[in-house]
Structure 1
């Protein structure tokens, strides 16, 4: 009976140690996210949208001018 109790205690301790080792191993595999400010300023290029907007306005203005003064064009 004493041997069974000793075996059960060893089994519990080894199982607990195995679970602890597994948890530590899984914790070591978790990814780390680091957030850092960029060394250069962030630039956003809006030239394309502005260029398209200006072209659209000029086209509307030209269409209106042609309708108002057809003899000039």
Structure 2
């Protein structure tokens, strides 16, 4: 009895696979009519902080007697 149930499950699985393969051929891809726009938001905060830190370091070195 178990072999019969397993065979039935195998047949159902095979039918599902065949159905999904048949539907997979229905996909079409078309090029967009408008150009693709990519917006790049670049964070430059790190560079500004680095420059300020470098300037502060130079100021402290130049005026070591004040600090």
Normalising by the smaller structure, the TM-score range is 0.3 to 0.5
* Higher Rg of the two aligned structures: 1
Bigger fraction of residues in helix = 1
Greater relative CO, 1 or 2 (CA 8 Å, sep 6+): 2
TM-score, normalised to structure 1, is 0.44
TM-score, normalised to structure 2, is 0.47
